[in-house]
Structure 1
C-alpha cells in the first residue's frame, strides 16, 4: 500500500509538536501556521482537531498538569496535602517554564484544573481551615510555586568571577551559582515551602484558640 502523501495527524502528535515549539520558541512562537510547518501539513488540517489555538493550549495545559498530585488532601493532613501538591506542581511547571503564563492565568473552565482546585479547597476546609483562609492558602501556594518555576535564581548570575571580585566583595562566590543551579533552586524552594508551612501552623493554632 502506498504511503499517504499527507502525514496522518493525531491529537497526541499535534500536542507534542506544539509543546516542543513552545519549549523552544516561547508562547509567542506558537501559531497554527508554524505548527503546521513543523508537522509538514497544511494549517487547515489542524483545525479538524482543534478549533482554535486557545483550545490547543488548554489541552496542552491539561496534559502538562496531569501529574500534579492533590491526593494528599484526602488524608486530612493539610501539611501533607500542601507539600505533595506544591512539589508536584513545581515539577510540572519547571519542566515547561514557557507554558507557565497559560497555567498561571487560572483554571478558567478547564475541568481538570477545577477538579484540582476543588480538591485543594475542600481538603483544607475539611482539615479545619475556614473557607477564606483556604482560599488564601491556595493562592499563596500558587505564588510560591509559580515564582519558583518561572525563573532560576542561581542561573541569574554570570559565571565570570571578575564581574564580582573587586566591586561586590559579598558576592565573591556568585560566579559558582550557575554550576550548582538545580541544587540551589531545589533547596531554596524546599526552604521557602517549609517556612510557609511552619507559618501556617502558627496561624492554624491561633485560629483554634479563638
Structure 2
C-alpha cells in the first residue's frame, strides 16, 4: 500500500483571513515596544510577512494606526465610574490606570501624546465621560479642559518617569549638592518604609496634590 500523499490546500483564497485589525494592532504594539513609536507601516508589514499595501485596507496611514492603538489603550484603561462617582474620586483611579497602561508601552508615549484625538471613537467617548462628570458636579466649564489636560500631562510625564532609574536625581558628587542629596535620600527612605518605589510614592503625592489644587481652583 502506497504512502498517503500530503493533503493539498484547495485552490483559491485561504479560508481564514491572513490579516485582521486585531492582529495588526498586536503586531504594532510589539514593534513599538521593541523599536519605539517611530516605526513605519513598511516595517510593520515586514514583521507580519505581508506587503505594505495589505495594511491599507485596515489603516490608510500611520496616523490611523496610531489612533487605533490609542483606542485600544483607552479600552484597557477602563471607565472607572465617572457616571456615578464624583469627578475627583473617579479621576484618581483613571489616572492610575492610565499611567500603568502607558508604562507598559513607553516607546509609544510621544506618538500618542502628539496625535489629535478627533475622530478616534474610544478616546472621544472617554473624554466625553470625564467632561460630563465635571459638568455634572458643577465644575466651571472654562476650567474643565485645563483641568483634564493638567492631569493627563502629569500622567504622561509620570509614565515616562517610571522608565528612568529610581535614583535618577541622586547627585554623583553629594558635597557639591548637599541639599539635593539629603532630600533624595529622604525620599528613598520614605518609599522604603511604605513598601513602594520612589516612582510610585512620587506619583501618588503629585496626583493627590494636583487633584486637591484643581478642587480649590473650582471654588475660586
TM-score over 0.5 for the pair: yes
State the partner residue of 2:51: 42
Unaligned runs of 5+ in 1: none
Instruction: Spell out the pairing of 1:142-157 with structure 2 (5 A cutoff).
Output: 142-152=152-162, 155=165, 157=167
State the partner residue of 2:133: 123
The answer to whether 1:111 aligns with 2:125 is no
Please give the TM-score of this superposition, normalised by the length of structure 2.
0.76
State the partner residue of 1:134: 144
> Is contact 2:166-2:198 (8 Å) kept?
no
Instruction: Spell out the pairing of 1:1-210 with structure 2 (5 A cutoff).
Output: 1-2=7-8, 8-28=18-38, 30-105=39-114, 106-152=116-162, 155=165, 157=167, 163-164=172-173, 167-169=176-178, 170-171=180-181, 183-204=197-218, 206-207=219-220
> Is contact 2:106-2:163 (8 Å) kept?
no
State the partner residue of 2:3: none
1: CA distance, partners of 2:8 / 2:168: 55
Q: What are the Cα deviations for residues 180-209 of structure 1, in whole angstroms up to 9, with x where unaligned?
A: 8x82111111100111122233333x34xx
2: CA distance, partners of 1:138 / 1:50: 29
Q: Secondary structure at the match of 1:109?
A: coil
Q: What are the Cα deviations for residues 55-101 of structure 1, in whole angstroms up to 9, with x where unaligned?
A: 22211111122122334221241211211221111122111122222
Cα–Cα, structure 1 residues 145 and 49, in superposed 2: closer, same or farther, change >3 Å? same
RMSD, aligned CA: 3.0
Give the number of the structure with larger relative contact order, counting CA–CA contacts within 8 Å between residues 6 or more apart: 2
How many residues were matched structurally? 198
Cα–Cα, structure 1 residues 22 and 82, in superposed 2: closer, same or farther, change >3 Å? same
1: CA distance, partners of 2:216 / 2:172: 42
Determine which structure has the larger helix proportion and give its number: 1
> Is contact 1:21-1:35 (8 Å) kept?
yes
2: CA distance, partners of 1:52 / 1:45: 12
Unaligned runs of 5+ in 2: 1-6
Cα–Cα, structure 1 residues 27 and 201, in superposed 2: closer, same or farther, change >3 Å? closer
Computing the radius of gyration from Cα coordinates, the structure with the larger value is 2
- Would you identify which runs of 4 or more consecutive aligned residues in structure 1 move more than 6 Å? none
